[in-house]
Structure 1
């Protein structure tokens, strides 16, 4: 897999039915290593090791219903009260981040109401803080660390 714009992390791999799988610490299982999964696993390690979010506050690839459509979010970080602090949308490295990507995470967030959004393809990362009162979002240089909450 290609080098991404994240620090290097020690991942566990195995071959399964002629496919490479990577261990997901959150789901506690090996998952098939696709380009998007490579980005997702880097995001998880980034949240755990760089931003110090507890493993118990992170959830990966769960079903989400939007207007009777079934969708899956990539990664969320929960607040201790169960509300969503960060919503992350991951794309494969070869996928360009576009307005459509931001529209997708905005649709998901209409249901989830996260305080922060992150969009990444592993090379380019975008961070936003939501302002629900003024109905806008502000781009940030980075996400807050867990200790700062």
Structure 2
């Protein structure tokens, strides 16, 4: 059954809207990922991630070359993947973004998962987002704790 891509209803997120390229892939809806330059199956989490990519590059002016998807890491001998990592000009992790589907609540468990990833990545900033709500944190290395921010981090120097 062919989908009418013009009639697809996608959730409106609390991020600037954009016009994604959509395409059918094996009977499923796909979205074009401008970083990997290919279509991916459009899951609710992917919808949030693609909004963040668009927001970082087109609204916050993060250089596209410093934004990376799904960096692999090992935690407790398990292979895990981060959603988005933004690097600074020296090649160090600057911002880690953990994306959840819009219907997933940003719970203590979600925060703990993102903090575990942060322990491995060691980025200066961490954002946890389900597209509707966002938590923006800055790591204070001296106090070894996060400080919640009222804004998103600006581009790395």
The bucket for the TM-score relative to the shorter chain is over 0.9
Q: CA deviation at 1:63?
A: 1.4
- Match of 1:101? 110
Contact 2:95/2:127 (<8 A) preserved: yes
Contact 2:71/2:85 (<8 A) preserved: no
Q: CA deviation at 1:143?
A: 1.7
Q: Output the CA distance in 1 between the equivalents of 2:44 and 2:59.
A: 22
Q: Do structure 1's residue 80 and structure 2's residue 89 form an aligned pair?
A: yes
Superposed counterparts of 1:121-132, under 5 Å: 121-132=130-141
Q: State which structure, 1 or 2, has the greater radius of gyration over its C-alpha atoms.
A: 2
- Match of 1:112? 121
TM-score (norm 1): 0.96
Q: Output the CA distance in 2 between the equivalents of 1:103 and 1:8.
A: 29
User: Unaligned stretches of 5+ in structure 2?
Assistant: 1-9
More strand by share: 1
Q: Output the CA distance in 2 between the equivalents of 1:128 and 1:50.
A: 19
Runs of 4+ in 1 over 4 A off after TM superposition: none
**How many aligned residue pairs are there?**
148
- Match of 1:26? 35
User: Unaligned stretches of 5+ in structure 1?
Assistant: none
SS in structure 2 of the partner of residue 21 of structure 1? strand
* 1:16-40 deviation line (CA, Å, top 9, x unaligned): 1110100011111100000000000
TM-score (norm 2): 0.91
